[in-house]
Amino acid sequence: MIRIADFQVQIQKPLTGEIFHPPVKSFSTIDSLPLGNAPEATIRVISSSNLNPLQTVSLVEFDDIVRLQGAIRYSEGETPVWVDIFEGRVQNQSKTYGDGNTVSLECVGHIAETFETLQRFDHVWANTDARTIIATLSGEGHQLGRIVYSEADIETGLVIPDYNIEAYQVYLADVMQDFEKLSGYKRYFSVRSSYDLYGSLLQTVLVFKSFPTVATEIYKVIEGTSRLISATVDVVGEDVKTYRYVNGGTDESGNQYNGGASDLSAVALYGPRDDVDTFTWVKSTSLCIEIAEGLLSDSKVPAVVIAVTLEGTLDAKLGDLVTVQVDSLDIKGVIISGEYTVFKVSHQLTEKGNFTTSLNLGGIKKDENDYLFLNVTKKVNTCYKNQSKV
């Protein structure tokens, strides 16, 4: 079956609204969870004096709005249905000597604004819903200017026992990272953008939601299908911790709150493996202990991560719950099959036109006995039974 992949990039001037469409030569995008960095994209476009004014890149500047899209068609006459691959702003531009008429645009996702939004006021909250806190921090003083707070896009139900902020100490992204962690990484932050009929950006909205509990039907990772190119499973034991200690802030007398948690069965298996975190906003010993227990529950056994490369899959997004069945991948007889969450996604288009999507998926959680044979990270490459691709 014929499969045609089309791509376009839209560059919008923030003040005038002018839109340019330079031809796309290649690109690479990456986005990951939990929130640690904003999505990034390197988009290589063609710059030439022979292009028409709507295609020129000579007017592209720092902070211009970027919208990279793709479409998959199965016949020459089919109308493209465009899917957003990356949305953000131009951060850097580069031109390499000897690289012809190619210009590289290094871009960062819209959520990057939260990494530069410094909190300017003191706050003390107790038993407060995370949505209330986010609403306050998003709207007060000189805060978010380009990302809009919308109550409908921030899930309620995550009650924060104690949360304190000292002015000029943390950024909004720091708070968001705390809330993802306090949810047990069952929720995550993102943004969504909307556009008018002409493609101009209308607004970008902050989103805080739970991971899907129902697997997507749009795409699957199944061995023997043309979609799956390769797969690798990593059993990551290097981050196993059997004792977690949390330092909090200080009381009025300068005494620091702290607390810890350990797992005796994990210690018996792996020995004492300690780790310490400091959260200055924590103002009680009980919350230090609660956080330590939560961190311990996810770190006391090795994590299993599946990395797959697919033929270009435009619909693959962070947070997707994906059906996986790769019978030739196994760990001590455990076949990699089930439903796993996408926590890293990367789209790549080479200059030769090869379009692929790489995903990191997680979700395997076994008890300690399943990992007794593991002392170091083990990597098993897929050996296909019924495919020529390796």
Q: What is the pLDDT of residue 389?
A: 32
Same domain, 22 and 10: yes
Contact criterion met (CB below 8 Å) for 85 and 69: yes
Report the percentage of the chain scoring pLDDT > 70: 87
Q: What is the pLDDT of residues 317-334, one digit of tens each?
A: 999 999 999 888 766 566
- Residue 175 forms part of a structural domain: yes
Is the pLDDT at 375 greater than 90? The verdict is no
Same domain, 12 and 102: yes
Same domain, 259 and 314: no
Band of the pLDDT at 386, cuts 50, 70, 90? very low
- Residue 173 forms part of a structural domain: yes
- Residue 187 forms part of a structural domain: yes
Q: What is the pLDDT of residue 353?
A: 93
Average pLDDT over residues 334-356: 90
Same domain, 293 and 310: no
Coil, strand, or helix at residue 55?
A: helix
Average pLDDT over residues 14-32: 93
Is the pLDDT at 163 greater than 50? The verdict is yes
Same domain, 232 and 377: yes
Contact criterion met (CB below 8 Å) for 303 and 238: no
Same domain, 226 and 358: yes
Is the pLDDT at 219 greater than 90? The verdict is yes
Is the pLDDT at 309 greater than 90? The verdict is yes
Same domain, 182 and 285: no
Same domain, 45 and 62: yes
Q: What is the pLDDT of residues 85-109, one digit of tens each?
A: 999 999 999 988 777 788 899 999 9
Band of the pLDDT at 47, cuts 50, 70, 90? confident
Is the pLDDT at 368 greater than 60? The verdict is no
- Rounded Cα distance between 265 and 240, Å, is 13
Average pLDDT over residues 150-179: 91
The DSSP 8-state label assigned to residue 60 in this structure reads: -
Residue range of the domain that includes 371 = 221-237+302-381
Same domain, 130 and 69: no
Average pLDDT over residues 271-284: 88
- Residue 386 forms part of a structural domain: no
Same domain, 102 and 125: no
Is the pLDDT at 338 greater than 90? The verdict is no
- Rounded Cα distance between 307 and 236, Å, is 13
How many structural domains are present in the chain? 4
Higher per-residue pLDDT: 378 or 131: 131
Block residue for tokens 């947070």: 319
Q: What is the pLDDT of residue 388?
A: 31
- Residue 387 forms part of a structural domain: no
Contact criterion met (CB below 8 Å) for 302 and 236: yes
DSSP string for residues in 70-134: EEEESSTTSPP--EEEEEEEEEEEE--TTSTTEEEEEEEEGGGGGGG-B--S-EEEEEEEHHHHH
